[in-house]
Amino acid sequence: MALEDLTGTKYIDDLNSSNPAAGDNVSEGDDHIRGIKNVLKTTFPSIDGAITATDTELNYVDGVTSAVQTQLDAITANDWVTAARMADNSVDSDMYVDGSIDTAHFAAGSVDGPALATNSVNSAELIDGAVDLSHMSDNSVDSRCYVDGSIDNAHLAANSVDSAQYVDDSIDTAHYAAGSVDTTALGADCVTAAKIGNDVLDSEHYAAGSIDAEHISSEAVTTAKIAGGNVTVAKMASDSVDSAQYVDGSIDTAHIADLNVTGAKLALDHRSTGNADDVKVGNQYDYIWADADVGLRFITNNAEEMRLLDDGTLHVDGDVIAFSTTISDETLKYNINPVDFALDKIKQLKGVTFNYLKGNKASAGLLAQDVEKVMPSAVSERKLPLHTGDDKSYKTLHYDSMTAILVEAIKELTAKVEKLEKK
């Protein structure tokens, strides 16, 4: 049911006789009853007793006699509408006869700016001397308002006259105070040689770096004119310094550019034999071997501990302590696919403890053969020359690749837990 708006003030004429409908709920009928009661109290707010007038009397038909009508008939036309019977703010411009309002009807101070029409006040309405500074708006007085010759020094504010007020060529030497012309008053390039006296320029007048080659006579600069330490690399010609200029022991590592010391320049304690491209640097027990056939080999106590192959593979016989990050930028990858059935794959793996054959070192982890069955991309084959000394390839496990399958497995477990929690 669309009941009347019961939140505001309503009168009898606003009621809808169709409400409540036959099919409306009892509660809606109750709301309608409360609405009717509110409407009656709003329509007849001052009635606090029984009303005995008939419908005819209430409708006020001509000729009806009643106490109310008797009082109405007793009121004459002249005293029908008085100030006492008029509500505040009930008379507007429509009730006034044109020209009926004169000065006698204005209260003192009742006519303000909003009551005046635009351009309605002229000089005839103003009392002499009535317009002072408080009545003038900013920037309202222009040159038309000044009497010729009326502005003298007393009317000028300090620092109020600038170059725009001067006539061209109106300021001559008589207007300059002694010492008032300084460098800020001089234009650029206005001081010429003709204005400078002979022998008046000394070193203090030269700007640093202002004397260049064209101001120096040929062969005028001798060694006596060069300050110590002022001949730099920039002042030296290419290929002008040879071994005769070097002081013994003056060239140290700081003077050698990176990658500029070759094997041929080294005084070696140990050098390879058989292959002229091989280089060994160090002593007979500890050295670095640049093996042309293998790569870079690191020897400690006459045993190879580390090898860097030509393909970039690093083999280390021992623990590796490193701080690094793995490059995993999406833009460097293609054929990207999610790991499916990660939890099932994890369930096929087994964590084990074991000992390495070499050195009997105890450890724990996964077996590469097991991982290869469920995630082949995490397993590769490498030769391990430092580990066995043979030429056999062994399966190696990329433990960082296992992160992907573990993440997806955790997500699957989480989904199962959340599903169980909702039951």
Cα–Cα distance measured from residue 395 to residue 371, given in angstroms and rounded to the nearest whole number: 10
Cα–Cα distance measured from residue 144 to residue 150, given in angstroms and rounded to the nearest whole number: 12
**Do 278 and 348 lie in a common domain?**
no
Q: Which residues of the chain have pLDDT under 50?
A: 1, 77, 269-273
**Do 292 and 373 lie in a common domain?**
no
Residue pair 5/13 in contact by the 8 Å Cβ criterion: no
Domain carrying residue 315: 262-324
**Do 287 and 350 lie in a common domain?**
no
**Do 414 and 374 lie in a common domain?**
yes
pLDDT score recorded for residue 1: 43
**Do 401 and 348 lie in a common domain?**
yes
- Is the model's pTM score more than 0.75? no
Q: Is 240 a member of any domain?
A: no
Please report, for residues 8, 13, 132, 315, the alpha-carbon distance to residue 31 in angstroms, rounded to integers and kept in the order given. Answer: 14, 18, 68, 89
> Residue 314 forms beta bridges with which residues?
308
**Do 284 and 310 lie in a common domain?**
yes
Q: Which of 272, 301, 324 is the last residue of a domain?
A: 324
**Do 292 and 375 lie in a common domain?**
no
Q: Is 170 a member of any domain?
A: no
pLDDT score recorded for residue 367: 94
pLDDT score recorded for residue 63: 56
pLDDT score recorded for residue 59: 67
**Do 318 and 344 lie in a common domain?**
no
**Do 382 and 409 lie in a common domain?**
yes
Q: Is 316 a member of any domain?
A: yes
**Do 341 and 415 lie in a common domain?**
yes
Residue pair 380/398 in contact by the 8 Å Cβ criterion: yes
Q: Is 232 a member of any domain?
A: no
How many structural domains are present in the chain? 3
Alpha-carbon dihedral sign for residues 362, 365, 371, 376: negative
Residue pair 302/284 in contact by the 8 Å Cβ criterion: yes
Task: Count each helix (H run) and each strand (E run) in the chain, helices first.
Answer: 7, 9
**Do 309 and 348 lie in a common domain?**
no
Q: Is 87 a member of any domain?
A: no
Cα–Cα distance measured from residue 150 to residue 146, given in angstroms and rounded to the nearest whole number: 7
Q: Is 92 a member of any domain?
A: no
Residue type, 42: T
**Do 336 and 392 lie in a common domain?**
yes
